[in-house]
Amino acid sequence: MEYAIEVKGLRKEYKGFNLQDVSFRVPQGYIMGLIGPNGAGKTTIIKLIMNLLIRKTGEIRVFGKDNIQHEAEIKERIGFVYDIPHFYEDVNLKNLASAMSPFYSKWDNSFFLKLIDEFELPLAKKFKKLSHGMKMKFSLALALSHDADLILMDEPTAGLDPVFRQDLMDRLSKMMLDEGKTVLFSTHITSDLERIADFITFINDGEIVFSSKREDILENWGVIKAGQDFLEHSKVPGFKGFRKSDFGVEVLTSEIKEAAAISSSDYIIEKANLEDIMYFMGRGDQNV
C-alpha cells in the first residue's frame, strides 16, 4: 500500500505542551480524520506536515518524500485549509486568488470561479468583510482549485452551516472516490467523520491514542451503562475509561464482544460513537 503521509516519531516541544513520538500513516486515496480535545496537538501535527513549525525530532514523508527536503514539490500537491484563514485583510478575493494562483502549475481558474459561484462568494469583496464561514469557503476554494493530490484541513467545518458542511463532506467523499485524492482533516464535529472518514486517528495530550479504520472502531468500541457499583464487581475487558453520575456508571471499552460476555445482568451495552470515545478518553473520570 502506498502512503500519502507517513509520520514517524514526531516530537515538538512548547512551554507546557509536548507532542510525543507521534507516528501514523495515511494511505493514498483515503480520508483520515484527526480527532482530539482542544490543545491535544491536532493543529501542531498539521502545521508540522506543512513545515510551518520546526520539529524537534522525527520524520514526515509526504508521497514518500521528506517534507523539508522536497518542500516546494510536496506543497504543490497539497491543498491546505487552516482553522483561522489568514490572508491580507484589505485585499479583495479576486486579487488574493490572482496573487496565489501563479505559484501552482495546475491552477484551474475556471474551476476556481465555479467554486466561487457555488459557494456564493463575492469576488469583489475585501477579505475582512467576510464572515468566518465565508472565509473558510474561500480558503476551501483555493485549496481545491489546483488539483491537489492531498487535502490538509484543520477544523475546516468550524463556523460552517450544516447544509454547507454536508455539501463539503459529500464533495470530499466524491473527490476521494472519483479522483483518488487523499484527505487528512481535524475536526471536533465527529459526526462528519462518522460519515466519510476511512481512518480515525485520536490524539490526546500530545500522544496518539489510536489510529485505526473507522469500521474497526465503531464495530469494536462500546459503552457499558450499569449501576454505581458495577466497576467494583466486574473487570471490563478493553477498559478505556469511565464516567460516574448519580444514575450509575458508564464505561468505555475497546472490546465490545468480550465485554458483552461479562457475567452480570445489571448492565446494558451499546456501540460507542466517536463523540463518546473523545469524551471518555479526553475528559472521562478516568482513562487509560
Partner 1 sequence: MFKYVRRELILNKNLIIMFLVYVSVLGIWASLQKIPSKMVIMLFSFIVPMLSLSLQAREDKFKAWVSTCSLPTTRNTLIKARFFTIWIFTFTALLYAVVVGALIPGNQAMLAQLLTLKTLFLCLFFISLCLALLLPFIIRFGIVGIMIFLVAAQVLGIVFLMLTRLTGRNENFFRSFLNLIIDGIKYLFNHQGTLLFYFTIILAAAALNLFSLKISQFLLARKDF
Provide the binding-site residues for partner 1, judged by CB under 8 A.
47, 50-54, 71-76, 78, 80, 82, 85-91, 95-96, 98-100, 102-104
What CA–CA distance (Å, rounded) separates 254 from 236? Answer: 10
Query: Which residues in 168-198 are b (16+ Cβ under 10 Å) and which e?
Result: bbeebbebbeeeebbbbbbbebbebbbebbb
**Between 144 and 281, whose beta carbon lies closer to partner 1?**
144
Contact 98, 116 (CB under 8 A): no
List the alpha helices (DSSP H) in the chain: 42-49, 71-75, 93-100, 109-118, 132-144, 162-179, 190-196, 214-220, 230-233, 256-259, 274-283
Phi first, then psi: give them for residue 18, nearest 5 degrees.
Answer: -125, 130
**Between 95 and 173, whose beta carbon lies closer to partner 1?**
95
DSSP-based three-state secondary structure for 220: helix
**Between 90 and 232, whose beta carbon lies closer to partner 1?**
90
- Closest approach, Cβ 47 to partner 1, in A, equals 7
**Between 86 and 235, whose beta carbon lies closer to partner 1?**
86
- Closest approach, Cβ 152 to partner 1, in A, equals 9
- Closest approach, Cβ 117 to partner 1, in A, equals 22
Of 199, 213, 203, 287, nearest to 250 by C-alpha is 287
Q: Are strands 78-81 and 150-154 parallel, antiparallel or unpaired?
A: parallel
- Closest approach, Cβ 109 to partner 1, in A, equals 15
**Between 65 and 244, whose beta carbon lies closer to partner 1?**
65
How far is residue 263 from each of residues 168, 217, 233, 266, measured CA to CA in Å?
A: 45, 24, 10, 9
**Between 159 and 237, whose beta carbon lies closer to partner 1?**
159
Residue 19: Cβ-neighbour burial (10 angstroms; 0-12, 13-18, 19+): buried
**Between 39 and 162, whose beta carbon lies closer to partner 1?**
39
- Closest approach, Cβ 204 to partner 1, in A, equals 22
Q: Are strands 78-81 and 222-226 parallel, antiparallel or unpaired?
A: unpaired
What CA–CA distance (Å, rounded) separates 239 from 221? Answer: 10
- Closest approach, Cβ 276 to partner 1, in A, equals 33
- Closest approach, Cβ 51 to partner 1, in A, equals 7
